[in-house]
Amino acid sequence: MRRFVIGRAKSLLNRSYQYHCQDQALLRPLAPSHSRFLSSTPGLDSSSTSSASSMAPPVSLDTINPKVLECEYAVRGEIVTLAQRLQDELKAKPGSQPFDEILYCNIGNPQSLGQQPIAFFREVIALCDHPSILDKSETQGLFSADAIERAWQILDQIPGRATGAYSHSQGVKGLRDTIAAGIEARDGFPANPNDIFLTDGASPAVHMMMQLLIRSEKDGMLCPIPQYPLYSASIALHGGSLVPYYLDEATGWGLEISELKKQLEDAKSKGITVRALVVINPGNPTGQVLAEDNQRAIVEFCKQEGLVLLADEVYQENVYVPEKKFHSFKKIARSMGYGEEDICLVSFQSVSKGYYGECGKRGGYMEVTGFSPEVREQIYKVASVNLCSNISGQILASLVMSPPKVGDESYESYSAEKDGILSSLARRAKTLEDAFNNLEGVTCNKAEGAMYLFPRIRLPQKAIKAAEAAKKAPDAFYCQRLLNATGVVVVPGSGFGQVPGTWHFRCTILPQEDKIPAIVSRLTEFHKSFMDEFRD
């Protein structure tokens, strides 16, 4: 990065310095002498400059970057703003709403809804944050022995043992080694620690890749529809074009290669160079887990078309059905015999999902394979503008890729916590799925993985008309009514994209189990009254 920065700065400097010399004479009549200027009131000296009052301020809606205005992020959009307002009202005047709490089912933020963190991870992070207690004997009474041991190991990997110091911009080398070993254990194929970039959650990693791949609006990214809006927002922010491919709801949100081919050809005919294919597996918001054959076909497609495969694999631990298993795209590609030189593959992982759900830590990584050393150098350069990702997040990313093993002191409690969370999520998914399927005009696919359900609602014409009158998308209208009546926050499907004319919403499966029955009854009651009001 800096090499490039310095080069740029220097060329600017040189240029400017030349001007400096040339323009000395030219400028002298314009610029008042130094001493005079210091003593004069600058307000009087506006002869050569425009007055501020006649112009729009530099930072206003008319003058800011139009790409900023363009991008949208539905997960925290209008509905959430309304929810926050309702929450404030509830706090100020309890009993002012027909419900007593807001249930945020709009965002995959498990710990805000009461999911407990894995104790072992937290022990290690606490010790790394405050290492001076490590050698106190009292600490052994408060922390498990293997957490203390792991904290020592991690601190030894951090230069200066300092979690308060900037690390290598790719992340602490020792932690990347641990992660690479974790990937290798998962896939059975080697991973190189130098391919790993630790980031503040997966989102900055996605931004980084978009920044790298998008050169202009002529560059396209194949994205699933429905998709997690991070992709559409990031593509808009970086000025590229989103090339949609539709997931087939009828086959459980299946990904058809024929659809990919069709959309690719379509984009080509419009003069768009498709650069990459985004696949979210397990799916967000759709919750499907790709079958191994399907994954092979996708890899083959990317290889044939020369596309970069951006694999969003942040839900890799969240698989709830015994007949499906998570396979990383890297494992699939390597098992097909495709190596570094055959396919460019980026895999994103985050500490925010899985059974750990440590969203607030902002930890994550991407594994970048198949790029030339020169390109990787450019990625490193972009990473280094932000110096490094936060160290607690880095440590956590290494912990989730190397959790306690059989025989460790914490193993039993760790695996009990993990299994407890995952099996509870599976039960919640099933309960909510059944509840949605029992509603009039609603169908909901099975949640095989991830943390979401994406039910389809068939809205009566009357409701669609009412929504139009309220200047809202019909699904947004439904979600807003739902929030007002029940306090349940869900995200309208229009934020994720959907086949035109169909309406959906995304609901997380994260509320604690004891709250699920109440949610189901509130939902059912609301839906019934909504349909009664608008039934054609």
Partner 1 sequence: MACFHSNVLQWNFQIIFTNVGNPHALGQKPLTFPRQVVALCQAPFLLDDPNVGLIFPADAIARAKHYLSLTSGGLGAYSDSRGIPGIRKEVAEFIGRRDGYPSDPELIFLTDGASKGVMQILNTIIRGDGDGVLVPVPQYPLYSAAISLFGGSLVPYYLEETANWGLDINDLRHAVFQARSKGITVRAMVIINPGNPTGQCLSEANLREILHFCYQENLALLGDEVYQQNIYQDERPFISARKVLMDMGPPISKEIQLVSFHTVSKGYWGECGQRGGYFEMTNIPAQTVDEIYKVASISLSPNVPAQIFMGLMVNPPKPGDISYEHLLGRGAMYSFPQIRLPPKAIEAAKKAGKVPDVFYCLKLLEATGISTVPGSGFGQKEGVFHLRTTILPSEEDMPAIMASFKKFNDEFMEEHEDHRGYSRMVFFVSSIQSMGFSEKPQVDSGLELDSKKWVIAGIPLRAPLKPIFTNPVEKESETDECSTTTTTPTSEDARIPTRLTCPPAPKKRKATLKCSYSGVREFFTPPDLETVYIRHVERAK
Residues 6+ apart with CB under 8 A from 344: 307, 308, 309, 369, 370, 371
Number of Cβ within a 10 Å radius of residue 442: 18
- Indicate whether 65 belongs to the interface with partner 1 (CB under 8 A): yes
Distance of closest approach, residue 478 Cβ to partner 1, in angstroms: 23
Distance of closest approach, residue 141 Cβ to partner 1, in angstroms: 5
d(CA 318, CA 320): 6
Choices 115-123, 264-272, 418-426, 525-533 (CB under 8 A): range interacting with partner 1? 115-123
Is residue 276 within 8 Å of 222, Cβ to Cβ?
Answer: yes
Distance of closest approach, residue 387 Cβ to partner 1, in angstroms: 6
Q: Which two tokens stand for residue 517?
A: 């029955």
User: Can you count the helices (H) and strands (E) in the chain?
Assistant: 19, 14
Nearest to 356 by CA among 53, 120, 56, 137: 120
Q: Scanning residues 371 to 390, which ones bind partner 1 (CB under 8 A)?
A: 382, 384-390
Q: Which residue in 25, 53, 258, 532 binds partner 1 (CB under 8 A)?
A: 53
3-state DSSP assignment of residue 260:
helix
- Indicate whether 78 belongs to the interface with partner 1 (CB under 8 A): no
Q: Which residue in 29, 94, 95, 164 binds partner 1 (CB under 8 A)?
A: 164
Inter-CA distances, 295 with 93, 298, 304, 309, Å: 53, 5, 14, 11
Q: Which two tokens stand for residue 452?
A: 């979401």
- Indicate whether 535 belongs to the interface with partner 1 (CB under 8 A): no
The single-letter DSSP state of residue 31 is: S
Binding mask 193-212 for partner 1 (x = CB under 8 A): -------xx-xx--x---x-
Nearer to partner 1, 157 or 318 (CB): 157
Q: Which residue in 337, 407, 500, 501 binds partner 1 (CB under 8 A)?
A: 407
Nearer to partner 1, 115 or 284 (CB): 115
Distance of closest approach, residue 181 Cβ to partner 1, in angstroms: 16
Per the DSSP assignment, residues forming a β-bridge with 103 are 488
* Cα dihedral 81, 82, 85, 90 sign: negative
The single-letter DSSP state of residue 248 is: B
d(CA 165, CA 163): 6
Q: Which residue in 282, 287, 370, 393 binds partner 1 (CB under 8 A)?
A: 393
Q: Scanning residues 272 to 331, which ones bind partner 1 (CB under 8 A)?
A: none
Is residue 124 within 8 Å of 397, Cβ to Cβ?
Answer: no
Q: Which residue in 227, 241, 295, 352 binds partner 1 (CB under 8 A)?
A: 352
Distance of closest approach, residue 466 Cβ to partner 1, in angstroms: 27
Q: How many residues bind to partner 1 according to rule CB under 8 A?
A: 134
Choices 350-358, 365-373, 435-443, 446-454 (CB under 8 A): range interacting with partner 1? 350-358
Number of Cβ within a 10 Å radius of residue 518: 14
- Indicate whether 415 belongs to the interface with partner 1 (CB under 8 A): no
Q: Which residue in 90, 119, 297, 422 binds partner 1 (CB under 8 A)?
A: 119
Q: Which residue in 209, 237, 379, 482 binds partner 1 (CB under 8 A)?
A: 237
Q: Scanning residues 140 to 159, which ones bind partner 1 (CB under 8 A)?
A: 140-143, 145-146, 148-149, 152-153, 156-157, 159
Residues 6+ apart with CB under 8 A from 284: 108, 227, 228, 312, 314, 315, 450, 451, 452
Choices 188-196, 262-270, 407-415, 523-531 (CB under 8 A): range interacting with partner 1? 407-415
The helix or strand, by DSSP H or E, that contains position 416, with its residue range, turns out to be helix 411-437
- Indicate whether 135 belongs to the interface with partner 1 (CB under 8 A): yes
Q: Which residue in 103, 107, 213, 280 binds partner 1 (CB under 8 A)?
A: 107
Q: Which residue in 29, 160, 271, 501 binds partner 1 (CB under 8 A)?
A: 160
Q: Which residue in 25, 29, 34, 271 binds partner 1 (CB under 8 A)?
A: 34
